[in-house]
Amino acid sequence: MHIEGPKNPSLQAILDKIEQTRNYTPKVGIFGNSGVGKSSLCNALFGKNVAKISDVEACTREPQSIFIGTGNNGIELIDLPGIGEDPARQMEYVALYESLAPELDLVLWTIKADDRNYASGLEAYQQIFGKREGLPVVFVITQVDKTNPHRDWDWNNFVPSEKQISNIAIKERDVSRRFDISAKNIISVAVGEENPNEKYNVIELVDLIVEVLPNEKKFSFAREAKEDNVSNESRQKAERGVWDSIKDFAGDAWDTVKDQVVDKLIESAPKIFAAAAAFVGGLFKKWF
């Protein structure tokens, strides 16, 4: 939830807000049944060996928390038990999801490409997120290399065939209709089981996540994604998100502190965001 800052915060308060935004640790909920490829997806996204998600009893009652990062910078992944894995615990799991939702910055709801039965997940989604506002939910259809006809997958370029592209689009429309969500919040991906450099639509997934996150949260996710998964456009959007949120926080004080704050925002950007920070800084010096 976005919280407005005071109308005239001090320069130090604004600088503290920059530090807080740059170092924020986002909390991402990973929803989906065992076997959907959550750990492979996270490894591909962040370029680090995530401890195998759900490497415990498949029907564990407790969410598994995994921190990726070093020092103050990182991201927390919350892996939740699959809704459909134990019908006897359906109500318990739904209650668990509901209790955790307010703590999350983002939900990645994963569905396996060849999964046809998501009735239990649909019921849970509608109950928990159907009317909830402010929490971005991205549906990720995983393992699309297994989409029929799976023998047609282009393994040399790690992309689907034309027929598979057609069937993937049908799957996305089906998920959109059943869950009553915009097709813009659905993306289909594939990740190589042995070669982490084999990935389909992972950059586009990062683009989508940066797009749907609120301004003050865009940067923290882009910061933790594997460098070659973050497009120049996403870097600029992530930086712009930081700057817009700081400008909003500064309120009426912005015109007074603008020059010092712009310099601080550029200085505080990590090296891989330097070009994006310089670009956004140029816009703010000229127009804002």
34-44 residue pLDDT tens: 788 888 899 89
197-229 residue pLDDT tens: 899 999 999 999 999 999 999 999 999 999 999
**What is the arithmetic mean of pLDDT over 148-175?**
95
Whether residue 247 sits in one domain with residue 111 = no
CATH of residue 167: 3.40.50.300
Whether residue 52 sits in one domain with residue 169 = yes
Tell me, what's the pLDDT at 48?
79
Tell me, what's the pLDDT at 56?
46
Whether residue 164 sits in one domain with residue 76 = yes
**What is the arithmetic mean of pLDDT over 79-100?**
76
The domain of 147 spans 26-228
Q: Which of 228, 258, 276 is the last residue of a domain?
A: 228
pLDDT of 54 higher than 60:
no
Kindly state the percentage of the chain with pLDDT values over 70: 91
Q: Which of 208, 228, 248 is the last residue of a domain?
A: 228
CA–CA distance, 267 with 261 (Å, rounded to integer): 10
Q: Does residue 271 fall inside a structural domain?
A: yes
Q: Does residue 6 fall inside a structural domain?
A: no
The pTM of the whole model exceeds 0.95: no
Contact 105, 213 (CB under 8 A): yes
Other beta carbons within 10 angstroms of residue 194's beta carbon come to 5
User: What length is written for the chain?
Assistant: 288
Which residue carries 């910055």 as its tokens? 105
How many structural domains comprise the chain? 2
Q: Does residue 105 fall inside a structural domain?
A: yes
Tell me, what's the pLDDT at 116?
79
CA–CA distance, 24 with 218 (Å, rounded to integer): 10
Tell me, what's the pLDDT at 182?
92
The secondary element (H helix, E strand) that includes residue 279 is helix 274-287
Whether residue 219 sits in one domain with residue 148 = yes
Whether residue 143 sits in one domain with residue 47 = yes
Whether residue 90 sits in one domain with residue 181 = yes
